[in-house]
Structure 1
Amino acid sequence: MFPNILQTSKSFLLHLLFWISVWFFYVYFFSYNSTDTVYITWFSSLLLPITLITTYLTIYILIPRYLLTKKYLKLLLYGFYVLAMSIYLIVLAIYGSFIFITNLDISKVPPMGRNFIFILILVYLIVGLISFLTMLNHNFNVQSQFKELENKILETNLQIKEQELNYLKKQIHPHFLFNTLNTIYGFSLKKSEYTPEIILKLSNLLDYILYQVQKPKVAISEEVAHIKEYIDLEKIRFQDRLKVNFDSQIENESLQIPPMLFLPFIENAFKHGNIINDYLSIDIQLKFTNDRLLFNCSNSFIDKNEAMTNGIGLENIKKRLQLLYPEAHSFNITTVEEQFKIELEIKLKKDD
């Protein structure tokens, strides 16, 4: 309540100071070629409330009720009423001053106070100035509110995108862990000597998935390191039935990318790839050049394997790419000569 009272008092004081300034302006204006201070003081004092009433009717009624709401016919009608009222009051002020202050002595009337049209223009000059400032302030407030609303919408969209990304990550992680745990289970049944090594590598991957993946971005070297660990796990599982090549050409190892950006593609290749001629063949290439990140992954593939081309995993990855790099990436899937190929190109910004 106190701030409202303070704001009201401040506004009242500003209005008071402004109208005192207008009164001094009238006194100065009508003093041109005249020394009759009594007439000038009284006439300026009579003209001031007329200007004040006309101004407040304009800025508090005509502008907000009719101009801003685009009720132009009513604006013209009530604007005419205000003009007629102000003309009537100005005429009364001129003739009243002439009769009661000068006692019908025209020589006592200042030269600037004898022309009715000139006085009317002077009054409406003040009205027009205040109306212009009112419209300017209104436009500024509208733009500020629009900018604030725009920022809120942008913030909401970012929160929605972040929630969608988290949802997609949660779908990727259990899928990835399920495959790896199956591998450990199979080797444990065989009492394989590789079981401890697999568990160790899985623990590293778990650390990456459960902790590092919560970060918005990680160094690309971390992603590459965990891709290699995942490939090592699959090498243990497939033994001599796997041919895999991973070529990474990244000069800037501190390059920041979203975590788990490429690993799901590789996981998809191992999960849905087919053993042809006794081998599952996988070729992976990762390259960064000219602000473009290029990723290619191909694996041996039988056309009947529809799960690979239409699986939930790839759809989730596509959605994630669209959220992370809208209009800044290209993603293509092709099947050529028993090869399933994924080509991804991302245009990175300089601050990435």
Structure 2
Amino acid sequence: MNTNLLHKSKFIPIHFLVWVVVWFFFVYFFSYNSDNTSYVTWFSSFLLPIAIVTTYFMVYYLIPKYLLTKKYFLFILYSLYMSVFSTVLILIAIYVSFIFLSNMEIKKMPPMSRNFVFVLILVYLVVAIFSFISLLNHNFKTISKNKALENKILETQLQIKNQELQYLKKQIHPHFLFNTLNTIYGFALKQSKDTPEIILKLSNLLDYILYQVNKPKVSLKEEIAHIKEYIELEKIRFQDTLKVSFIADEIPETIQIAPMLLIPFVENAFKHGHLIDGFLNIEIVIWFSDGNLNFTIKNTTIQNEATKENDGIGLKNIKKRLDILYIDNYTLNISEFEGWYNVNLNVLNLKAN
């Protein structure tokens, strides 16, 4: 309410000042080739209320009620009525001035005040200027409101995406941890001497999973280092039944990706891969060129069994994360061919940070 009162308090003096300027505008033009200042002053004062009423009727009634609501026929119709009414008032002002200010002597009238067309144009020029300013102001407010609404929608969408992303991240923790703890449990039952080493390697991975995953991005080089740690962890579990080929380019420290983006693919390869001729074969190739990351992993599998991997939480999770984080900037191809399950991920436009 206080804001409305403030606006109202500003409205009156500003408009008063504007109409004083308009009055001087009339005086200036009607003084042309005339030294009858009294006539010009009074005649301008007669025209000013007509201009005020006509302008306010147009700006605060016709434009908002009919033009802005696209009732064009009614707008034109009432504008014509207004024009006729204001024209009659202008004629009355001219004749009243002629009778009382010049004593019905046309020579005493300033030349510009005798020209009915000029007087009409001058008044409607004022109306047109105010109407134009009103429409500009309305358009500016509409654009501002639309922009604010658009920003609010984008902000809401971003919040929804962030919430979904946080949910997907939280799914990673128990999924990965459960699989690794099962491995430790198996070795503990066997009282294996490798159990302490597994726990040590797991602690490094847990630090990455539980803390680094909450960051929006991590170093690609760091992600690759933890993939290597995970592979070493699995080598202990698989012993002599595992063959892993791992090739990775030297990645700049400045290249960053979403955390835990690649590890779930590696995990799935170990979890869903099958021993063929006594060995689980896994091949991983990672290279980075011209801002694009290419990640390829494939594992041996029994024909038609690997497709069940698509039902896993990990793969569904990573697809959703890719859609949120790298929409239109990634390709993911998954195929099965001649006993190999193949995954190829390309992430485009990765820039240094």
TM range (shorter): over 0.9
Distance 1:250 1:152, change over 3 A: farther
- Of 180-189 and 71-80, deviating more is 71-80
Q: Where does residue 236 of structure 1 map in the other structure?
A: 236
Alpha-carbon offset, residue 349 of structure 1: 4.4
Q: CA–CA distance in 2 between the matches of 1:238 and 1:106?
A: 115
Q: Is the Cα contact below 8 Å between 1:334 and 1:342 reproduced in 2?
A: yes
Q: Where does residue 137 of structure 2 map in the other structure?
A: 137
Q: Where does residue 184 of structure 2 map in the other structure?
A: 184
Greater than 6 Å deviation, 4+ residue runs:
none
Q: Where does residue 340 of structure 1 map in the other structure?
A: 341
Q: Where does residue 170 of structure 1 map in the other structure?
A: 170
After superposition, the C-alpha distances for 1:265-301 in whole angstroms (9 at most, x for unaligned) are: 0001011011111001001111110111000000001
Q: Where does residue 219 of structure 1 map in the other structure?
A: 219
Q: Where does residue 37 of structure 1 map in the other structure?
A: 37
* Equivalent AA in structure 2 for residue 316 of structure 1: N
* Equivalent AA in structure 1 for residue 171 of structure 2: Q
Q: Where does residue 17 of structure 2 map in the other structure?
A: 17
Q: Where does residue 316 of structure 1 map in the other structure?
A: 317
Distance 1:118 1:351, change over 3 A: farther
- Of 319-328 and 297-306, deviating more is 297-306
Alpha-carbon offset, residue 196 of structure 1: 0.9
Secondary structure in 2 aligned to 1:288? Answer: strand
Q: Is the Cα contact below 8 Å between 1:250 and 1:286 reproduced in 2?
A: no
Distance 1:148 1:253, change over 3 A: same
Q: Is the Cα contact below 8 Å between 2:293 and 2:348 reproduced in 1?
A: yes
Q: CA–CA distance in 2 between the matches of 1:155 and 1:291?
A: 28
Give me the TM-score of the superposition, normalised by structure 2. 0.97
Alpha-carbon offset, residue 153 of structure 1: 1.1
Written as runs of structure 1 = structure 2, the 5 A alignment for 1:1-352 is 1-305=1-305, 306-350=307-351
Identity, % of aligned positions: 59
- Of 36-45 and 159-168, deviating more is 159-168
Q: CA–CA distance in 2 between the matches of 1:298 and 1:88?
A: 90
Give me the TM-score of the superposition, normalised by structure 1. 0.97
Alpha-carbon offset, residue 7 of structure 1: 2.5
Secondary structure in 1 aligned to 2:103? Answer: coil
User: Which sections of structure 2, spanning at least 5 residues, go unmatched?
Assistant: none
Alpha-carbon offset, residue 77 of structure 1: 1.4
Q: Is the Cα contact below 8 Å between 1:244 and 1:283 reproduced in 2?
A: yes
Secondary structure in 2 aligned to 1:345? Answer: strand
Q: Is the Cα contact below 8 Å between 2:255 and 2:352 reproduced in 1?
A: no
Alpha-carbon offset, residue 62 of structure 1: 0.9
* Equivalent AA in structure 1 for residue 327 of structure 2: P
Distance 1:28 1:101, change over 3 A: same
Q: CA–CA distance in 2 between the matches of 1:166 and 1:308?
A: 23
User: Which sections of structure 1, spanning at least 5 residues, go unmatched?
Assistant: none
After superposition, the C-alpha distances for 1:202-230 in whole angstroms (9 at most, x for unaligned) are: 11111111111000001112111111111
Alpha-carbon offset, residue 351 of structure 1: 5.4
- Of 213-222 and 4-13, deviating more is 4-13
* Equivalent AA in structure 1 for residue 298 of structure 2: S
Alpha-carbon offset, residue 5 of structure 1: 2.5
Q: CA RMSD in A?
A: 1.2
Q: Is the Cα contact below 8 Å between 2:310 and 2:316 reproduced in 1?
A: no
* Equivalent AA in structure 1 for residue 304 of structure 2: K
